Structures are given as structure tokens and as C-alpha cells.
Chain A
């Protein structure tokens, strides 16, 4: 069977699904349904969807392997790019609607607030992955170079989860749930790698 290429129906479906959370936010904005503190709602929803998509992206390789469905790998790129999109909007919402371009405050947040520092680090690393998620970039980097660069995701996703853990005031349940899922997904890779070595 020839590998499928391009914008196939399943990819279109994935893109459509990934758009739903942001459309839902826009809808709620116009319905005046973002709650008492709408700015907080928007910043948090964009952040949490960024994290969810990053984790989902991390889950595709193990899933494809365990289910023996190699074609699932093709979903990594749209999901990864949408994750980047949500994180970018998340950062923009923080700069524009939360801080309203108060650059001095934003800069001191980045330096002084560990949760912002880690979030920012994750975002900066993520930019490189997004910029190299196109066929031309992959060709230029070569398969090995590209794969090595994209291993950064193993650092980025934990940084995102750490960012979440640090910002929650007291109830760490949800950050711990994400941390546990990420630990399993990364643990599986370590296990695979060790298994192949022997």
C-alpha cells in the first residue's frame, strides 16, 4: 500500500477538531459567557488546550506502535502545529489582554516568576519545531538532523507541565494528572530505547 500524502480527509478532520476549542471560545465571547473573569478564562483555556494538544502529539507514536497503525504518525504534524498555535495565542492573550503591553511587567515576570520563565522557555523551543515542520525544512535538515531537533519536544512538554504545576495555587490534582501521563509517554520511549539497545 502506498503511503498517503498531503491533505487527506483524516488530516482535514483533525484540523477541524483542533479548531473547535478556539471557535468555542470565540462563540462564548460573543454570548458573553466567559464568566466573571473573562480574561483569566481565555488565557487559561488557550494554555490548557496548548498543553492537551502537546500531550496528544506525544501520545501518537506509542499509539501507532502499540496499535500497529503507522498512518497515525501523520497526525503528529497538524496536532503539533495546532499546539503551537494555541500556545502562541496563549502567550499573546497574556501580553495583550492580561498585561495590556506592560512590557516592564512582562519582562520582570519572565525573569522573576519561575512559572512564566519555564512557559517562555517552552515556547521559545517550540518556535523552532514549528518553523521546521514543513517539507522543505525537513529536506534541508535531513532526516537525522530533523529528528534530533524534534527530540526537543521531550523537554518542551515537561516544561509546559511544570509551568502549569507552578502556577496553580493549591489544588495540584490536574497538573499531577498531566505530569503522570507525560511520564508514561516518555517512560515508554526510554523503555523502547533500552529494549532496542540490548
Chain B
């Protein structure tokens, strides 16, 4: 079997001229989609729209249409159907917005979203693999999670990082359904959180995050299934013990704490061996750690990934 796998690139891998050429390639690919998608291609071209960012990590795969990225979302706070968040997430007030850093750290603090937006922003083009078997390629803009963590100076006993989504029953029509226990919570091991790939995204496609994608600030951990990338974060806590995570609480046998993308470990109800890239016809094979093994495999050396799924 032939698996075409272009390596992901960092700033160090290319000369400035390369960056320019690759951008052109991506723009051309966007336009090549043809019919009816011209508007999207134009969006793709303005890599730095309202937010200016330095592109520091990317794949040469064609980014998924903006329309799909912002119109097909799992954000259960706004309904369980993937078409609901785009309709109802506009009710969420995203300013003012602060993120509380607390728990086992030397400098607990509250960070204002505006402060984070003023920092040095990076653009990262990542693959996103949903546990349901579909995937996208998304140009995120954000700040490395590690930078925000360092502000709080976690203590050495802090082994985990816990995340929490806002809970606003008046603005989130989905939370009246007790499908998941609210607020949505997620967690990472400290070394996972400090990995350079882990990003706190504040934008996509050159602009601020749309609400349905987790505005104003969300996690992006591209080597894990999408639900780990918690949206609309209000709190980041440092803990000594493994924090609870929403989907694990809902169905522990189906969704583990780690939930790394792994084609060899199936979801109990469906196969994870392949995925449908949104916009493509044929399924493509799913890659170990969603293709980021070079960056993250060392975090799991010696671990039985069938047990720690």
C-alpha cells in the first residue's frame, strides 16, 4: 500500500523563499477547487487578515474550505448536530473574556484574552482528526500552550493540566440537555501540554476564531482526537492527579484520557483505520498520532497504547 505522506514543516526547514512559494501553492490549490468556492479561495489567500501571525509549522496538504471548517462542528454546548453550532453559537458573549490559571502553581493569575492577542501569534496548519472518522486541515492562529503555562510557574508536583469550558446556560442552548456533564472538561499530562505542537488557538484562516470553533480561545492538540481540543476555555488548572475528562466520564470504555489518534486501536463501535478528509471522496488511511509521530511519539515510549487509549 502506498501512503503518500509529505512531512510537516517548521520554519527551520525552509528558506523565506520557500515559504513564499508554498503559500502560492496553497492559494492555487484553494482556487483549483473551482465552482462555487471562489469566495473560500479568496479567504484562504488572506493568510493574515485581521490577525497578523508568523507561519511556524505547516503541512502542504490543502486546507479544508473555510465554509466546512466553520459550518460542520462538534460543540455540544450548542446542540448535538454538527450543523447546530454555526446556527446557535453566536449567542456566546466572548468579550470581556478571561482565563483563570490556578491550582498547583507559584503564580496563579487571570489572563485577559486581549493580552494574549497582543502577544506574538503563530500560524500553524494542522490536520484535525475527529473520533467519528472524518478529518480536516486547518490553518490555526495561536500561541504555544507552553508559553501560557510558564506564566503561572507550575510547581514540580503538578503532573497534569486540566481545562474547563465556559458554562453559560443562558447563552448555550445545548447545556439544558444532560448528555454530557457540564462544564466540558479536558486534560493533558504536563509533558503533553508542554509539547511544542500544543497550541492555544485564538484564530483561524487569518481571522479571529468564529464562536462555533471555540472562540475566543481553544486548545489544539493535533495528535489527539478532536474532542481533546477543548473550546472556549475559561480555566486552566495544574493538578497532581489525572483530571476527569468529559467524554471519558460519559463512556470510559470508548474514550480514554489519552485519546491519541491511533489507527490500530479501534473505537469499540467503529474502526479508526481510515478517515474521510472533508472535501475528498475516498477514505484515506489514518496515520499514527495523526501523522505527528516524529513530534510526539517519545511522550508515550514504553506505554501500552491499547491499554492507555
Q: Are B177 and A36 in contact (CB under 8 A)?
A: no
In the complex formed, the residue of A with least CB distance to B250 is A170
Contacts of A115 in B (CB 8 A): 269-270
A176 beta carbon closer than 8 Å to chain B: no
* A:52-78 near B, CB below 8 Å: none
Number of residues of chain B lying within 8 A (CB) of chain A:
27
Q: A39-B276, A109-B271, A170-B250 are in contact. Are A100 and B283 (CB under 8 A)?
A: yes
B158 CB to closest chain A CB (Å) equals: 31
A100 touching B282, Cβ below 8 Å: yes
Contact A32 B83 (CB under 8 A): no
Residues of chain B from 22 to 38 with CB closer than 8 A to chain A in the complex: 35-36
Candidates B71, B132, B269, B283; contact of A36 at CB < 8 Å: B71
Cβ-closest chain B residue relative to A97: B281
Q: How large is the interface on A (under 10, 10 to 19, 20 to 34, 35 or more residues)?
A: 20 to 34
1/0 per position for B78-92, CB-CB distance to A under 8 A? 001011000000000
In the complex the two chains form, is B269's CB within 8 Å of A114's CB? Answer: yes
What is the bound-complex CA distance between A32 and B34, given in angstroms?
13
A145 at the A/B interface (Cβ < 8 Å)? no
Assess the A99–B250 pair: CB atoms within 8 A.
no
User: What is the CB-to-nearest-CB distance from A8 to chain B, in angstroms, rounded to a whole number?
Assistant: 40
Within 8 A of B (CB), among A99-125: 99-100, 102, 105, 108-109, 112-115
Asked if B19 is at the interface (CB within 8 A of a chain A CB), the reply is: no
Asked if A37 meets B276 with Cβ closer than 8 Å, knowing A167-B269, A171-B80, the reply is: yes
Q: Which residues on A sit within 8 Å (CB–CB) of B35? A: 32
Max chain B Cβ within 10 angstroms of own Cβ: one of A36, A100, A114: A36
For the complex with contacts A98-B283, A170-B180, 10 further pairs of A-B residues with Cβ separation under 8 Å are: A35-B72, A36-B71, A36-B72, A36-B82, A37-B134, A40-B276, A109-B271, A113-B270, A169-B132, A170-B179
Q: Which 3 A-B pairs have the closest CB atoms?
A: A171-B80, A36-B72, A36-B68
